[in-house]
Amino acid sequence: MAQLAASLRDELKRYSPGEKLPASRALVARYRVSPVTVTRALAQLATEGLVITRPGSGAYRAEPHAARPPERGDTSWQEITLSAEASFEHVPRGVDAGAVVATLAAPPPGVIEFSGGYLPAALRPERALAAALARAGRRPGAWERPPLAGIDELRAWFAREIGGPGGAVAASEVLVTAGGQSALSAALRALAPPGSAVLVESPTYPGLLAIARAAGLRTVPVPVDRDGVRPELLQRALAASGARVFVCQPLFQNPTGAVLSADRRPAILRAAREAGAFVVEDDFARRLAHADAGPLPPTLAAGDRDGTVVHVCSLTKVTSPSMRVGAIAARGPAFQRLAAIQIVDSFFVPRPLQEAALELVGAPAWERHQRAVAAELRLRREAMAAALARDPHTARAARPRHLPSGGYHLWLPLPDGTDEPALAAAALRAGVAIAPGRPYFPAEPGSPHIRLSFAPPAGVAEIDEGVRRLGAALAAGATPRGA
């Protein structure tokens, strides 16, 4: 396969961008190899960004990336930020996985799951995953030790995904990680000394708060509105707390679904640079955009020259809970520290899993799967919103203010005085699992909320039934009278 890929790589020089390559049958005859070998070679070129495969049409030479290497700024500021540890008050370290377990554990039989964060089996690319894993296991060296930072081809694929067509991120600036949670944990421990403050969006992902507590960090909230975090509040929080790390989800934020607006993006980076702080960009939902999302904004990392942004992403959400392959992109001393922490923690991500990920993203089925997920998530979002509006109890007490065009959940404000744990317990008795809003806040919340996920249910009919059960729980007195 490697020899055929090298030959095709050389042959591509004779084709113009967008020009179609010979059909697979012609390549089989010319090079006297099997159809499987041709498919794998084309998949390899696709992961390198040299070829685009179109199901039912064939393979085409891709548009060339910018020939000039991206500009790199001065990362020397990181040496101060990573080393100048002030004397912080002791912060008790506590490992509380309760809020995380609530989204990971399967509900009891017969209970509809509105609390989870993964696709149902019918939406996972299980056939493509199985085929990718089988091919990966036969790759030469598949069971040998991988490079500590990850397989070069997979690092290059992540670099293109993160940096965009301008090549803002180099493969040498990417670490392959065991999923997004592992990457976030490594980032906080690498960038923030124990006892220090770390700024987080409010509300935010409970798994991030659990990581911070386990590392002995003080979480300081920065409020989020429909356009993402507010830059003026971020500036104040940086100055007041002395924090040198801010963790955010600029795209389809969990749980609000907010997208950081175009005018706020440079302001956020400017505030961080002026404070000598890192921005940890948790880009968990980029591959969960809905079919009506339109063009997505580039990553914050794509516009960063000075190593301010540490980017985290993963393949897990859009594939399977067990495809725990992700990436961290960073540069300068921060990259070296992150690489060292990963080695100490886990040595490396198992090579067969990395090879399987590489096979998956290079296969024609990958683009088909992403289109199918985008269409289905839009359908489910609309179905849940319609069901909430239709049921008299949820229409009165649990209506979303914002329908996101990406992600897998709705964030619902509840009437003041609602007892979230009581509502969650009543909903579970009625046969539907929901996520109370309190665990999403690093400090006292201003009002009660719940988060409903439309990804885990089996289909639209189950979403409708789950909302009906939630309405029954609300009718049973889980909200204040008159709400």
pLDDT tens digit at each of 483 positions of the chain: 778 888 888 888 888 888 888 888 888 888 888 877 887 787 777 777 787 776 566 788 887 654 455 566 656 445 446 555 555 556 666 666 666 666 667 778 899 999 998 999 999 999 999 988 888 888 788 788 888 889 998 999 999 999 988 888 999 999 999 989 999 999 999 999 988 999 999 999 999 999 999 989 999 999 999 999 999 999 999 999 999 999 999 999 999 999 999 999 999 999 999 999 999 999 999 999 999 999 999 999 999 988 999 999 999 999 999 999 999 999 999 999 999 998 888 888 989 999 999 989 988 889 999 999 999 999 999 999 999 999 999 998 888 888 999 999 999 999 988 899 999 999 999 999 999 999 999 888 888 999 999 999 999 999 999 999 999 999 886 666 545
What was the pLDDT predicted at 97? 65
pLDDT at residue 64 in the model: 66
Tell me, letter by letter, the H, E, C secondary structure of the chain: CHHHHHHHHHHHHHCCCCCECCCHHHHHHHHCCCHHHHHHHHHHHHHCCCEEEECCCEEEECCCCCCCCCCCCCCCHHHHHHHCCCCCCCCCCCCCCHHHHHHHCCCCCCCEECCCCCCCHHHCCHHHHHHHHHHHHCCCCCCCCCCCCCCHHHHHHHHHHHHCCCCCCCHHHEEEECCHHHHHHHHHHHHCCCCCEEEEEECCCHHHHHHHHHCCCEEEEEEEECCEECHHHHHHHHHHHCCCEEEECCCCCCCCCCCCCCCHHHHHHHHHHHHCCEEEEECCCHHHECCCCCCCCCCCHHHCCCCCEEEEEECCCCCCCCCCCEEEECCCHHHHHHHHHHHHHHCCCCHHHHHHHHHHHCCHHHHHHHHHHHHHHHHHHHHHHHHHHHCHHHHHHCCCCCCCCECCEEEEECCCCCCHHHHHHHHHHHCEECEECHHHCCCCCCCCEEEEECCCCCCHHHHHHHHHHHHHHHHHHHCCCCC
Q: What is the pLDDT of residue 79?
A: 44
pLDDT at 52: 76
CB contact set of 230 (below 8 Å; sequence gap of 6+):
222, 223, 224, 264
Residues facing residue 175 across a β-bridge: 328
Residue tagged 């799967």 (tokens): 369
Give the CA-trace dihedral at 422, 427, 428, 432, to 10 degrees.
-150
Q: Tally the residues of the chain.
A: 483
Distance CA 153, CA 319 (A): 19
Distance CA 156, CA 169 (A): 9
pTM of this structure: 0.83
Q: Could you tell me whether strands 309-314 and 326-329 are parallel, antiparallel, or unpaired per DSSP bridges?
A: antiparallel
Q: Which candidate, 213, 215, 229, 359, places its Cα nearest to that of 282? A: 229
Residue 392: CB atoms within 10 Å: 11
Cβ(351)–Cβ(143) below 8 Å: yes
Cβ burial 316-354 (10 Å sphere, 16+ → b, else e): bbbbbeebbbbbbbbbbbbbebbbebbeeeeebbbbebb
Return all residues near 195 (Cβ < 8 A) that are at least 6 apart: 88, 89, 90, 91, 216, 217, 218
Q: How far apart are CA 137 and CA 131, in angstroms?
A: 10
Contact call for residues 117 and 453 (beta carbons, < 8 A)? yes
For residue 39, give both structure tokens: 């498919």
Calculate the CA 154 to chain-centre distance.
Answer: 17
In order of their start, the domains of the chain are 2-61 (1.10.10.10), 98-123+366-478 (3.90.1150.10), 132-362 (3.40.640.10)
Residue 326: what pLDDT?
A: 96
Rounded to an integer, what distance in angstroms lies between the CA atom of residue 442 and that of residue 479?
Answer: 24
Query: b/e per residue, 398-411, with b = 16+ CB within 10 A?
Result: bebeeebbbbbbbb
Backbone φ and ψ for 161, nearest 5 degrees, come out as: -65, -40
Structure tokens belonging to residue 25: 């049958």
